[in-house]
């Protein structure tokens, strides 16, 4: 059984990714920051459908906590799966902030940077020795790094940086046959930055070729598919999954 770690797996894209990966027969480790109840719901959904999953606490914005997380993952791998390694890492955890450049504070900037770029960089670094050769890393980026939308400059900039980092991961980890790709969602109906109100959703739908916003499972399904052996020759790519957003 392949084992995947999905950060931010208690809700939204992360929860859908975890559930879709379990449907493809993977063992799942999800992380949550504060909402244990939601994380337990995801685990319960997977287990009730015949899968295996555990939830571990992780603040992706706190690099100092990563060593403890590494040890917790190693313990669960031994206890649940009788393994000393895992196969896939999905760097998904994140949050949104709508604020024009002129009023973004240093604290807001640093918070977004820590979660969306610094965190994935150092989490991947510390988990790499525990990842099996031939594994895969998927970083969740954003279509906002391609299309400038007023009010989300730091978020988009760090997602763009994560897209670049993905290519470097593919380059540097290739000798271990570890692939690295990124998925760039467009407008998705999630709780990110408070979710979508009707007016905002209509505007986004009008900017999308398919005439609607996406659903979380439409991203989770792509991630699960990319992790499968069917797509083993895809590497170092940023794949936009956005229904044709501003084309």
The catalytic residues are: 155
- Strands in the chain per DSSP E: 3-6, 27-32, 53-57, 86-91, 131-140, 179-185, 238-241
Cα 147 → chain centroid: 20
Q: Which residue has the tokens 């998925």?
A: 183
Dist. CA 155–CA 84, nearest whole Å: 35
Q: Token pair for residue 197?
A: 């109100």
**CB neighbour burial string for 140-153, b if at least 16 within 10 angstroms, e if fewer:** bbbbbbbeeeeebb
The per-residue DSSP string of 160-217 comes to HHHHHHHHHHHHHHGGGT-EEEEEEE-SB-SSGGG---HHHHHHHHHTBTTSS-B-HH
Dist. CA 196–CA 181, nearest whole Å: 27
Q: Token pair for residue 89?
A: 């890492």
């Amino acid at each position: 059984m392949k084992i995947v770690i999905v950060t931010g797996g208690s809700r939204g894209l992360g929860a859908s990714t975890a559930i879709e990966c379990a449907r493809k027969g993977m063992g799942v480790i999800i992380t949550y920051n504060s909402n244990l109840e939601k994380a337990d719901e995801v685990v319960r959904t997977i287990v009730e459908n015949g899968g295996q999953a555990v939830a571990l606490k992780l603040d992706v914005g706190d690099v100092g906590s990563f060593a403890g997380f590494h040890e917790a993952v190693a313990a669960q791998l031994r206890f649940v799966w009788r393994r000393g390694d895992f196969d896939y890492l999905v760097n998904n955890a994140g949050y949104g902030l709508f604020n024009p450049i002129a009023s973004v504070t240093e604290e807001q900037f640093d918070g977004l940077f820590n979660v969306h770029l610094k965190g994935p960089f150092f989490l991947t670094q510390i988990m790499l020795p525990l990842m099996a050769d031939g594994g895969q890393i998927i970083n969740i980026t954003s279509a906002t790094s391609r299309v400038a939308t007023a009010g989300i400059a730091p978020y988009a900039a760090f997602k763009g940086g994560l897209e670049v980092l993905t290519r470097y991961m593919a380059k540097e980890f290739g000798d271990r046959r570890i692939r690295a790709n990124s998925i760039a969602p467009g407008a998705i109906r999630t709780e990110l930055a408070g979710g979508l109100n009707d007016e905002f959703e209509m505007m986004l739908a009008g900017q999308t070729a398919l005439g609607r916003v996406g659903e979380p499972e439409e991203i989770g399904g792509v991630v699960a598919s990319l992790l499968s052996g069917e797509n083993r020759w895809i590497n170092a790519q940023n794949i936009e999954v956005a229904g044709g957003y501003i084309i």
